[in-house]
Amino acid sequence: SIAILLYLARKFKTPDHWYPSDLQKRARVDEYLSWQHVNIRGKGSKLFLTKVLLPLLTGQPLSPEKLEGVTEELNVVLNQFEEKFLQDKPFIAGSEISLADLVALVELMQPVSAGYDLFEERPKLAEWRRRVEEAVGKQLFQEAHEGILNAKNL
């Protein structure tokens, strides 16, 4: 999916902020896009699978110990995300939204859909989410996440 996003950004010459031509900003986007696969995506998906899909498929309740371990793994990468990527900037690459922000928030919505509000006790992360939603449009954001946010109703 990352390769497709980069291809589309280049082919259709999207506004520069999505995949910046400035090499330092682009490196920041590339760094996040390379890091997120086994970190945000890996740990967020694991929580979603463990909390929603496995109990649904097996008919067995999730053990509190298993949930605690998976949640702690996600919290470690959330701390890294805030400290290394967001720092004190509005967006990952600086003052404007980029593909990195879009990919990050999409991945973070999986644990949210499993009932884990990872934004609740993280004001920096919550503010960043608000900025990303505003940048893409709240209605479009809700429409894009309608399916995943209803997954726990299975």
In Å, the largest CA–CA distance within the chain is 51
- pLDDT score of 152: 62
pTM of full prediction above 0.85: yes
Helix, strand, coil percentages (3-state) for the chain, rounded to 5, are 75, 0, 25
Confidence of residue 1 (pLDDT cuts 50, 70, 90): confident
- pLDDT score of 148: 80
pLDDT higher than threshold 70 for residue 37: yes
Domain boundaries, the chain: 22-150
The correct answer on CATH 1.20.1050.10 for the domain covering 22-150 is yes
